[in-house]
Amino acid sequence: MSRPDGASPDTPLGQAESAALLEPWIGPGTAYRGAVLAVSGGPDSTALMGCAALAQSCAAWTGRGFPLVVATVDHGLRPGSAAEADGVAGLAARLGLKHRILAWTGPKPTARLQEAARAARYRLLAELARETGADLVLTAHTLDDQAETVLMRLCAGSGPAGLSGMAPARTLDGLALGRPFLSVPKARLVATCAERGWPFVRDPSNADPRFGRARLRRLLPLLAEEGLTAERLARLAGRLRRDEAALSDAAGAALRDLRRPASGGKGCLVLDGAGLAALPEAVALRVVGLAVAAVQGAAKQAEASPYPPRLERLERIVLGEILPALRSGASCRRTLAGLLLAAGRGRLAFSPARPRRQPPS
């Protein structure tokens, strides 16, 4: 199957094309001071490292001295992971790039292991960036990764924000995280490594059926036969990300307009009930979510959840109970994410909920 731009899905990236993808991040005129390249040794990240080295050798890029550090996180979860990290170090040296191995030490959880490993990986990468004076971390997520992410979140019941997938750029603990290859099929990066002679390894966990992402990965070819290709899933993510940004902006403006003086002191927030009830439900839902986050941040209480409420519960309480109460003039009190939401007398008030009484021991 050919791509809309005419390129075959397994055509290697040329030097000019890869440099164009990387230029906003590490090219001439970039606003960043330095970058950490996250390289596991797989084909995607190996291509990122190799293409970055090639780009820096371009005539237009030479003499800049933009600081790049390649980082490999050794999670210590598989035999041979240390040798794989050493292999990345060897290729980095061959390409003229600095390299660091970051070890994930300490006890490993038995449940949600991949999530814990991901969190540890980003924490270690951010720590290295700060240590080296870099303000950017680049990963090699691909079009295929985006499609898998959208499918995983669809299976989890995510709304538009979740189905918008991975953003090309986001913040990471005060730094920037960039994904320059998010529009590139994985097969093209594999072909790039093969053409350039860059050795890579394949992580067996990527095909391990114990993990949900690996199971969904096996479904993608079947879905593509029905027309649901990785490109279309990625296009869906982009459209939803665009729409979600517009709705979020509208919700932020509405929150500012609807806030009223709160008499409950610090950690309380009050919204105009009639104005909230008159908003489109998609915007009203986000306004309440933003208000919950604002109160959580102001209260800083252990009882308040550090995470946003799940969409299903937010919908059930806001759309099913709070908004109908505001429209009818009835009173309604519900708890959500460690907060008390009280609707009545034309207002919706947010305040920290009282801790539940512990049963006697």
Q: How confident is the model at residue 359 (pLDDT cuts 50, 70, 90)?
A: low
Give pLDDT, residue 265.
64
DSSP state, residue 350: E
CATH number of 15-240: 3.40.50.620
Q: Structure tokens of 243?
A: 């729409």
109 three-class SS: coil
What is the chain's mean pLDDT, rounded? Answer: 91
Alpha-carbon distance 157 to 83, whole Å?
39
Give the domain ranges of the chain.
15-240, 261-352
Tens of pLDDT, residue by residue over 152-164, are 999 999 999 999 9
Distance CA 46, CA 91 (A): 9
pLDDT at 85: 95
| Collapsed DSSP state (helix, strand, coil) of residue 343 | strand
pLDDT digits (tens, 9 = 90+) for 63-83: 667 999 999 999 988 888 999
Q: How far apart are CA 229 and CA 221, in angstroms?
A: 8
**pLDDT of 43 strictly over 70:** yes
Which of the residue ranges 18-32, 207-221, 323-337 would you say has the lowest mean pLDDT? 207-221
Confidence band for 5, pLDDT divided at 50, 70 and 90 = very low
**pLDDT on residue 299:** 59
* Bridge-based pairing state of the strands 269-272 and 259-260: antiparallel
CB neighbour list of residue 176: distance below 8 Å, 6 or more residues apart: 32, 135, 136, 137, 169, 170
- Minimum mean pLDDT range among 43-47, 226-230, 298-302: 298-302
pTM of the predicted protein model: 0.87
Residues 109-164 pLDDT 10s = 888 888 899 999 999 999 999 999 999 999 999 999 999 999 999 999 999 999 99
330's tokens: 């009835």
| Amino acid at position 268, single letter | C
Q: What is the pLDDT of residues 225-261, one digit of tens each?
A: 999 999 999 999 999 999 999 999 999 999 999 999 9
Q: For 316-345, how does the pLDDT look when each residue is reduced to its tens digit (9 = 90+)?
A: 999 999 999 999 999 999 999 999 999 999
